[in-house]
């Protein structure tokens, strides 16, 4: 091997000694690497094909869709939630006009506009409030753009 370093291969238990050269070990190591490369290539190809199938059939990839959409499995199509679409458009409009994220969040909270998810993960915990809002309390913050 290189620079006086012994290599211990976990996968096959082989020990490659720095001061010894073993042609059979070298060949076996090369074959093991080639097998791993082929497995990785095959897996990559299969995953890519699966994603392409989902795109072609217009299925949500990974099972999740943006918060302003839902997926109708029977009709096999995306459905807009117009109320949420208006919220997203408002967020973009306010942001483009120079209003900051915290101010936009506070306005949405003040108007009792709920986050796009019911998950506890959508709300910052107390330590996140301190980090996000510099110690000022907030009702909730959505991970979906509120």
81-125 pLDDT, tens digit per residue, is 999 999 999 999 999 999 998 888 888 888 888 888 655 444 433
pTM of the model: 0.47
33-65 pLDDT, tens digit per residue, is 898 899 999 999 999 998 888 778 777 777 778
CA dihedral over 101, 106, 111, 115, signed as positive or negative: positive
Task: Give the whole-angstrom CA distance, residue 25 versus residue 131.
Answer: 55
Residue pair 103/136 in contact by the 8 Å Cβ criterion? no
């Amino acid at each position: 091997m290189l620079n006086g370093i012994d290599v211990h291969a976990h996968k096959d238990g082989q020990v490659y000694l720095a001061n010894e050269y073993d042609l059979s070990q070298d060949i076996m190591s090369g074959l093991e690497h080639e097998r791993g490369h082929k497995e990785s290539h095959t897996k990559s190809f299969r995953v890519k094909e699966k994603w392409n199938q989902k795109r072609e059939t217009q299925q949500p990839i990974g099972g999740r869709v943006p918060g302003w959409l839902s997926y109708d499995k029977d009709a096999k199509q995306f459905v807009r939630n117009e109320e949420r679409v208006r919220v997203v458009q408002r967020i973009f409009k306010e942001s483009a006009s120079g209003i900051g994220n915290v101010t936009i969040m506070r306005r949405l909270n003040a108007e009792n506009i709920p986050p796009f998810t019911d998950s506890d993960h959508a709300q910052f915990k107390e330590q996140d409030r301190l980090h996000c809002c510099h110690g000022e309390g907030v009702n909730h913050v959505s991970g979906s753009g509120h």
